[in-house]
Amino acid sequence: MKPGVRALGIAESVGPSDERSTLAGVVVRRDRVVEDAAFRSCAVGGTDATDAVCSLLEECIRPDVRYVLVGSVAPAWYNLLDLTHIHQRADRPVIAVTFEESDGLESGLRDAFSGASLEDRLERYRALPARRPVSVNDETVYVRHLGCDASDAATVVRAFTPEGGRPEPIRVASALARAGNQYAGRRSRLEK
């Protein structure tokens, strides 16, 4: 893969109020050059994360961005992403990368929600593509993908992970989301 290939990385960090979570979107070239960034927020425990991600797509996606890498399928305390909708809006491969082995989210969802809220989340969760382990730099990450096959998804994840186990677009987006939360926390304290 050429050094100038670009991916949009999206990651989140729960805000200082624990009511909102900051999502950061970052365009990163394979050679680690950061070219663009944007921020959105979604409700902790809400159902608006997919809309926030799609808003980031509208702002950051360009013809030269070939992949979308997402750092979670359940940001902001089970604000589950609809990866199919995101893939349709992006019109390019979407690869969700998580970093821990898991038995899945169903039991956590059942503990946290009930009624229609639970059923909506279970439906979204069950619609997600299967998770596959991928070895990257002596670490294992877990990948869900749409718009490309398993082999291509693994190649993309490895190409954008020059060291460690976190793809650079997700690592940078996560750092920016944390920084955005720190700024928002300081600003809200000053306004009081």
- Which pLDDT tens digit goes with each residue over 86-124? 999 999 999 999 999 999 999 999 999 999 999 999 999
CA distance 112 to 107: 9
Whole-number pLDDT of residue 184: 73
Question: Mean pLDDT across the chain, nearest whole number?
Answer: 94
Give helix then strand counts, H and E, for the chain.
7, 7
Cβ(169)–Cβ(70) below 8 Å: no
| pLDDT tens profile 27-58 | 999 999 999 999 999 999 999 999 999 999 99
Please report, for residues 63, 135, 176, 178, the alpha-carbon distance to residue 189 in angstroms, rounded to integers and kept in the order given: 40, 43, 20, 17
The answer to whether residue 77 scores a pLDDT higher than 80 is yes
What's the topology of domain 6-191?
archaeoglobus fulgidus dsm 4304 fold (3.30.2170)
CA distance 69 to 144: 10
Q: How confident is the model at residue 24 (pLDDT cuts 50, 70, 90)?
A: very high
* Tokens (6 digits) for 12: 């989140």
| pLDDT tens profile 129-151 | 999 999 999 999 999 999 999 99
User: Which of 88, 77, 65 is CA-nearest to residue 9?
Assistant: 65
Cβ(25)–Cβ(37) below 8 Å: yes
Whole-number pLDDT of residue 187: 57
